[in-house]
Amino acid sequence: MNLVIPDTTACRTSLEVATAFHTPALLNHSVRAYLWAAAYAQERGISFDAELLYVSAMLHDLGLATAFDNHSVPFEEAGGHVAWVFGAGAGWPVERRQRAAEVIVHHMWDEVDLEQDPEGHLLELSTGMDISGRNTEAIPADLREEVLARYPRLGLAKEFVACFESQAERKPDSLAGTFVRGGLAARVAANPLDR
């Protein structure tokens, strides 16, 4: 499988932003989220906007970073706001900025309609793969091995659960709060990608 990270100014800059504000574990998670999504789409013939998906993947968890952790809105909404501002700086039209924000918000949904939002669908699917191990059988074994070697997990499970528990404590009505109450820690601990 030939996966290529899109090489645009916005993609390179979004990686720079993610590198500056994420821990190494969350940065690698963001890159893997794009790669799992792109692989899934490629295998199934799903058309998607590679630049939009990549930028959204790089920025989707920025609301968990101390610099962007908003005290009053869920982290995915805060990350969506960051993406909107990022898109403005990248010269994107308002509609594209809004799409990036939507993709990031939608990644926390239980399900995103492929026809209405292919990038949101793919990011929701791939982040679930990477965090809780949901549908990891859809990742070809050779790709899984290659990606995990290049972008190791670096203790992501423990760090991610701690981030969500912090969100849940401070914002109990958020989706992060719902996920924590629904057994997120156990699902993350059982992720086959950590074996």
pLDDT of amino acid 129: 94
Which pLDDT score is estimated for 3? Answer: 78
Per-residue model confidence as pLDDT tens digits over 99-120: 999 999 999 998 999 999 999 9
Residue type for position 21: F
**pLDDT tens per residue, range 49-106:** 999 999 999 999 999 999 999 888 999 999 999 999 999 999 999 999 999 999 999 9
pLDDT at site 2: 72
At 147-189, the pLDDT tens digits run 999 999 999 999 999 999 999 999 999 999 999 999 999 999 9
Span between the terminal Cα atoms of the chain, in Å: 23
Burial class (CB in 10 A: 0-12, 13-18, 19+), 10: buried
Query: Which pLDDT score, from 0 to 100, does residue 1 have?
Result: 67
125-152 mean pLDDT: 93
Mean pLDDT score, 122-142: 93
